[in-house]
Amino acid sequence: MKIFDFKVSSTRLDTLDKNCYSFFEQKNYSNLPYKLTLNNNQLRKIQIQSDKPFNSIQKNQILSFIVEDVVTFVSKIDSNEINFIKGKLGDDTLIKYWLYHTFFPILLTFESRYYFLHAGAVEIENTPVLFIADAFGGKSTMTDFFMKKGHTMISDDKVGTYEKDNLILSVPSYPYHRPYRKMEDLGLFVEDFAKDSKPINCIFNLVKSDENSDIFINKISGIEKFKALKYATDIDLPINQKQRFQSLTNIANKVDIYDITIPWDLNRLEEVYQTIVEFIKNKKVI
């Protein structure tokens, strides 16, 4: 199974290709001098440590990600190797959750492979469409509704993006979907999961509206577009700042973003769904 288009395997590194990371358990860990404490909604104490400053990431710089009492992940930048140390509360389920959901995206961010957006994403007309929103703004509900309608899932929560041939592509995350709120849970396995990275069609910024309001789609630009993307940035750490700002600017310049008003009534989700699908069909023709 691929995670953000990479395989993570308990196989010797010298037998793996460049799109794989080896993953092995180790017994001991030494604290590193440079530290970042992360806020999170999982009620865990989390810290990133490194042997060098965070303001200038270098090849072979040691990075550790510590979930207190659960697991510590250790990797050298660009080594394609991850080691882990189980904590007293660590089990396979929790280790898998923290690897997929948090540490691996952070490692890929440190390695400047992707720029992550906090978004749900599905395929519409075989093209990636992303949903971003304020907290509790409906992106998980929207993603779940499209999946129930038979649309292929790209990501439930985190969308890795990168630029290729002057286009911004989205990366399939991992085949799990969480249509409910439960801490430290990857969710349900998804069969209909995207296999390949594709150029992003557009991004919808979900805007809550009165339950009786009409549904409007308005293209945004300029500072409003940049602000929407900045708010949707998933891994906002003080690293590679110039490069990350350029990545954000490139997305803003090369991907259409639309505000869409969402009547706050589940009974109108079908109407919202039809509006989006029709919009994408017409946009594709244009």
DSSP SS3 for 141:
helix
- Cα radius of gyration rounded to whole Å, the chain: 19
Residues near 159 by beta carbon (within 8 Å), at least 6 away in sequence: 116, 117, 119, 121, 130, 170, 171, 173, 234
Same domain, 104 and 76: yes
Asked if 270 and 146 touch (Cβ cutoff 8 Å), the reply is: no
Whether 11 shows a pLDDT value over 80: the answer reads: no
More confident position, 284 or 114: 114
Q: What is the pLDDT of residues 157-178, one digit of tens each?
A: 999 999 999 999 999 999 999 9
Q: What is the pLDDT of residues 21-75, one digit of tens each?
A: 999 999 888 899 999 999 877 889 999 999 999 998 999 999 999 999 999 999 9
Same domain, 280 and 149: yes
Asked if 154 and 194 touch (Cβ cutoff 8 Å), the reply is: yes
pLDDT of 286 reads: 40
Q: How many CB atoms lie within 10 A of CB 234?
A: 17
Q: How many Å from the N-terminal Cα to the C-terminal Cα in the chain?
A: 36
The reported pTM is: 0.94
Q: What phi, psi does 99 have (nearest 5°)?
A: -70, -55
Final residue before a domain boundary, out of 51, 80, 113 = 113
Residue 39 is encoded by which pair of tokens? 């806020």
Residue 189 structural domain: 116-285
DSSP letter string over 251-271?
A: HHHHSEEEEEEEES-GGGHHH
pLDDT of 13 reads: 62
Q: What is the pLDDT of residues 241-261, one digit of tens each?
A: 999 999 999 999 999 999 999
Same domain, 27 and 151: no
Asked if 87 and 71 touch (Cβ cutoff 8 Å), the reply is: yes
pLDDT of 15 reads: 64
Same domain, 122 and 103: no
DSSP SS3 for 148:
helix
pLDDT band at 111, cuts 50/70/90? very high
**Gap between the Cα atoms of 169 and 247, Å rounded:** 12
pLDDT band at 14, cuts 50/70/90? low
pLDDT band at 18, cuts 50/70/90? confident
Same domain, 208 and 155: yes
Residue 206 sits in a domain whose CATH number is 3.40.50.300
pLDDT of 16 reads: 67
Residue 184 burial (C-beta neighbours within 10 Å; 0-12, 13-18, 19+): middle
Asked if 52 and 34 touch (Cβ cutoff 8 Å), the reply is: yes
Asked if 143 and 122 touch (Cβ cutoff 8 Å), the reply is: yes
Asked if 44 and 68 touch (Cβ cutoff 8 Å), the reply is: yes
Strand 256-263 vs strand 202-209: parallel, antiparallel, or unpaired?
A: parallel
Final residue before a domain boundary, out of 82, 113, 144 = 113
Same domain, 33 and 125: no
Same domain, 161 and 104: no
**Gap between the Cα atoms of 146 and 122, Å rounded:** 7
Same domain, 24 and 36: yes
Q: Domain total for the chain? A: 2
Same domain, 161 and 280: yes
Same domain, 135 and 254: yes
Same domain, 106 and 142: no
pLDDT of 17 reads: 76
pLDDT of 284 reads: 64
Q: What is the pLDDT of residues 90-103, one digit of tens each?
A: 999 999 999 999 99
Mean pLDDT (the chain, rounded) = 94
